[in-house]
């Protein structure tokens, strides 16, 4: 699985480079503007807003790319090199999911650190005038030092891991369905999309169900994710057609 | 390692690509898989290496059903571009070395030299002839028991075809079977010992090339013409 993870990373390295490049440019704009703008005229909000948009854009691009790579491997000849290796399909799928998870977590942590550094710079330049911005960092550190912070952060981390696994498993399931069992069938793509929407609705129903604890809801999400993962593995193993 | 296909069938919505096909590939033989376009040659090869699953029938490898583990013993060179865009030839080597234990890096470098390729070349910028050579080099550098070469001579010049054929002959081995599909029947004739003729997804004839010459006094090309008729003659030669 690690070998597959390595090559999935290699395939995406240009995208990662572009993402970091975009972020670096926006960060440079921020660093160039901060010393010359007054915090009072609110123009400093523009580069901060750009940084936030860039972060969100890259985050969703990482998720979206995880989906398109999987789809491309099942539709085009690029999949030959992946699926002619003596690696079991679940291992290939896990590597793809793990890459999205790890890349988004690493990006998220890096982005958080960058944000902290940017707010520090802003605070040091604007002083008291930075108002709410200046209070942001101490609030974060206060929150981190508070009792129960570590389990709370670990809980969020686990919940994020479940969300990524759940979302990608469902998406991969519907893509695999359209490219294996329903391949070449009339309305095959439509049916697989409807299946995807139905599972997403079921998922949100579980999340919003009254009286259900977070733990039970998370367990049900994991169960749905595992079922989709197993079904995807089965479909690709038994019905692949490149 | 012998590979047996029993009643192997691949059916699509409106077409049967491979139909109740029975064939055995034995080590020590070089097979020519012949037939006009759309007779199921590529589909058969893809089934043999696990890129396409069968609708019905069986593929037995040493008497057990084909699983993903058997991919370790099957080397496939498809006719299409299969490498990742970022790859240099040296990356192709790393990829094959990482995934296939039977990959011989020394052999790969020797073949690159023979075929006039350099490890620093970017795969995406290679000509079709160079790509064909690269696929052959990567595939033949594996000590796989079953080698599947789909149209290895397609769209490439005479000299490149000759160097590829030379490479194929030099890698013939009694411990492995080589299956080559090609429309260049004439050029394939000197290097193969068994010809397998396919028509509409079925095998219409499997014959020893030597006995075809001795018993019927026919070459593979002549037999091809006999089986597929004049309409496919141009394709055959």
Q: What is the pLDDT of residue A132?
A: 62
Bridge-based pairing of strands B56-61 and B202-208 is unpaired
Query: How much is the pLDDT for B237?
Result: 47
Which residues on chain B are in Cβ contact (under 8 Å) with A10? 84, 86, 91
State residue B12's pLDDT score: 86
The residue of B9, B47, B50 whose CB has the most chain A CBs within 10 angstroms, and thus the best one to mutate to test that interface, is B50
CA distance B26 to chain A (A): 21
pLDDT of residue A37: 61
Which one, of A70, A73, A126, lies nearest residue A96 by Cα? Answer: A70
- Chain A 86-105, CB below 8 Å of chain B: which residues? 86-89
Cβ distance A84 to B95 less than 8 Å, yes or no, reads no
pLDDT, position A38: 60
User: How far is Cα B92 from Cα A188, in angstroms, rounded to an integer?
Assistant: 35
Tokens representing residue B141 in the block: 């550098």
Q: 3-state DSSP call for residue A241? A: strand
From chain A, the residues in CB contact with B69 under 8 A are 86
3-state secondary structure of B144: coil
CA atoms within 13 A on the CB side of B15: 9
Interface test with A, best of B42, B86, B131, B146 (most A CBs within 10 A): B86
* Domains contained in chain B, CATH given: 3-236 (3.40.50.300)
Reduced DSSP (H G I as helix, E B as strand, rest coil) percent helix, strand, coil of chain A, to 5: 85, 0, 15
Nearest-CA distance B191 → chain A (Å): 27
Instruction: Judge whether A79 and A33 are in contact, CB under 8 Å.
Output: no
Instruction: Show me where the domains of chain A are located.
Output: 1-146, 147-242
Q: What is the pLDDT along chain B (237 residues), one digit of tens a residue?
A: 889 999 999 988 788 999 999 999 999 999 999 998 889 999 999 999 999 999 999 999 988 999 999 999 999 999 888 899 899 999 999 999 999 999 999 999 999 988 889 999 999 999 888 898 899 999 999 999 999 999 988 878 888 888 888 888 888 889 899 999 988 888 888 889 999 999 989 999 999 998 988 888 888 888 898 888 865 545 544
Q: What is the ipTM of this complex?
A: 0.84
Angstrom distance (rounded) from CA B19 to CA B40: 9
Contact B198, B41 (CB under 8 A): yes
- The pLDDT value given to residue B138: 94
Burial track B159-171 (b if 16+ CB lie within 10 A, e otherwise): ebbebbbebbeeb
- The pLDDT value recorded for residue B106 is 93
| Total Cβ atoms within 10 A of residue A93 | 22
Q: Scan residues 29-88 of A and list those with Cβ closer than 8 Å to B.
A: 77-81, 83-88
Q: Under 8 Å CB-to-CB from B212, ≥6 apart: which residues?
A: B195, B218, B219, B220, B223
| CA atoms within 13 Å, Cβ hemisphere of B12 | 16
Q: Residue window 163-182, chain B: list those with CB within 8 Å of chain A.
A: none
Both tokens of B202, joined, read 């079925």
- Chain B from 24 to 53: CB within 8 A of any A CB: 46, 49-53
Give the phi and the psi of residue B19 in degrees, each rounded to 5: -125, 105
Determine the residue of chain A that is closest to B96 in CA distance. Answer: A85
B152-to-A234, B17, B76 alpha-carbon distances in Å: 32, 21, 11
What does each C-alpha distance from A97 to A63, A66, B35, B227 come to in angstroms?
10, 7, 42, 50
Burial class (CB in 10 A: 0-12, 13-18, 19+), B215: exposed
* Angle, vertex CA B143, rays to CA B123 and CA A73, nearest 5: 45
Q: What is the pLDDT of residue B162?
A: 85
A124 near B CB under 8 A: no
In this structure, what token pair is assigned to residue B82?
């299969």
How far A51 CA lies from chain B's nearest CA (Å)?
Answer: 29
Based on C-alpha coordinates, what's the Rg of chain A? 22
pLDDT tens track, chain A, 242 positions: 889 999 999 998 888 999 889 889 988 888 887 776 665 566 777 778 888 898 999 989 998 998 999 999 988 888 999 999 999 999 999 999 999 989 988 998 888 888 888 877 777 776 655 556 566 666 766 777 777 777 888 888 888 888 889 999 999 999 999 999 888 787 888 999 999 999 999 988 888 887 778 888 889 999 999 999 999 999 999 988 88
Largest CA distance in chain A: 65
CB B51 to CB A84 under 8 A? yes
């Amino acid at each position: 699985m690690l070998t597959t993870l390595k090559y999935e990373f290699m395939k995406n390295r240009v995208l990662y480079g572009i993402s970091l490049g975009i972020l670096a440019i926006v960060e440079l704009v921020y660093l160039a503007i901060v010393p010359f703008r007054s915090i009072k005229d609110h123009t400093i909000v523009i580069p901060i807003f750009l940084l936030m948009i860039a972060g969100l854009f890259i985050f969703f691009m990482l998720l979206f790319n995880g989906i398109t790579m999987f789809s491309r491997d099942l539709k085009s000849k690029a999949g030959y090199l992946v699926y002619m290796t003596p690696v079991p399909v679940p291992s290939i799928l896990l590597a793809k999911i793990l890459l999205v998870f790890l890349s988004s977590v690493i990006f998220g942590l890096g982005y958080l650190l960058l944000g902290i550094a940017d707010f520090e710079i802003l605070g040091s330049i604007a002083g008291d005038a930075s108002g709410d911005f200046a209070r942001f960092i101490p609030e974060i550190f206060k929150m981190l030092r508070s009792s129960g912070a570590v389990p709370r952060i670990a809980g969020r981390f686990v919940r994020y891991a479940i969300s990524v696994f759940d979302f990608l498993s469902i998406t991969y399931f519907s893509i695999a369905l359209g490219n294996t069992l329903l391949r070449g069938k009339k309305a095959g793509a439509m049916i697989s999309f409807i299946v995807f929407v139905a599972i997403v609705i079921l998922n949100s129903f579980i999340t919003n169900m009254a009286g259900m604890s977070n733990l039970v809801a998370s367990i049900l999400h994991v169960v749905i994710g595992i079922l989709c993962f197993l079904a995807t593995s089965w479909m690709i193993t038994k019905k692949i057609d490149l | 390692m012998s590979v047996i296909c029993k009643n192997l069938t691949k059916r699509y919505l409106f077409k049967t690509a491979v139909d109740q096909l029975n064939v055995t590939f034995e080590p020590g033989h070089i097979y020519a898989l012949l037939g006009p376009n759309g007779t199921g040659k590529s589909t058969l090869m893809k089934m043999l290496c696990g890129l396409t699953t069968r609708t019905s029938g069986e593929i037995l490898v040493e008497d057990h059903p084909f699983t993903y583990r058997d991919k370790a013993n099957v080397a496939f060179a498809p006719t299409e571009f299969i490498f990742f865009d970022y790859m240099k030839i040296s990356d192709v080597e790393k990829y094959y070395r990482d995934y296939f234990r039977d990959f011989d890096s020394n052999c790969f470098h020797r073949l690159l030299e023979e075929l006039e390729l350099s490890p620093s070349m970017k795969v995406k910028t290679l000509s079709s002839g160079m790509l064909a050579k690269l696929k052959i080099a990567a595939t033949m550098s594996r000590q796989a028991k079953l080698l599947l070469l789909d149209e290895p001579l397609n769209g490439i010049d005479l000299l490149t075809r000759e160097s590829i054929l030379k490479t194929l002959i030099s890698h013939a081995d009694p411990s492995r079977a080589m299956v080559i599909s090609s429309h260049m029947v004439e050029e394939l004739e000197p290097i193969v010992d068994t010809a397998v003729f396919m028509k509409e997804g079925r095998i219409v004839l499997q014959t020893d090339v030597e006995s075809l010459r001795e018993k019927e006094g026919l070459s593979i090309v002549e037999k091809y013409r006999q089986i597929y008729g004049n309409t496919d003659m141009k394709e055959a030669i």
